[in-house]
Amino acid sequence: MELYIPSFTAAIIAAFIIIYVFPNFTPVVLAFFAGAALVYGIYYHYIMFGSEYSSMTLVDGIRKSASFVMVSTLIVFLMGYLLYLYRSKSAPAPAAARPSNSYTPPPPPRNNAYARSRNLNMDFEERTSL
């Protein structure tokens, strides 16, 4: 088994970039690099397999663009969802965590016949006298 020095060097350089350089980038820059890598991969794929794509029928020509339509739709919906999430300046606090300036006392206990009949602390005579 041979060790290919160019591919080994490329793997070492790629590992260095992934471990030391990419964590310092913002998510927008990383998304740009991912999109550029996707576009380059698609371009390289068409260069490598262009002859196979040219021998397809018309229906196959429409079918080959379906994955790009799906990926584009997914990206657009994800970006719309992220814009929806981060549209406001600050995240809303949950209702339980919001401070309340006024104290609302609990409601008084019900003193009607139904509530007295459901009270288990009453004696049997008190419940039956209702």
**What is the model's pTM?**
0.37
**pLDDT at res. 106:** 72
Model confidence pLDDT, tens digit, residues 2-52: 667 788 888 999 999 889 988 888 888 889 999 999 999 999 998 988 877
HEC letters along 47-92: HHCHHHHHCCCHHHHHHHCHHHHHHHHHHHHHHHHHHHHCCCCCCC
Of the candidates 30, 35, 40, 33, the one whose C-alpha atom is nearest the C-alpha of residue 74 is 35
Model confidence pLDDT, tens digit, residues 63-120: 778 888 889 999 999 998 888 877 766 655 566 655 566 677 777 666 666 666 665 5
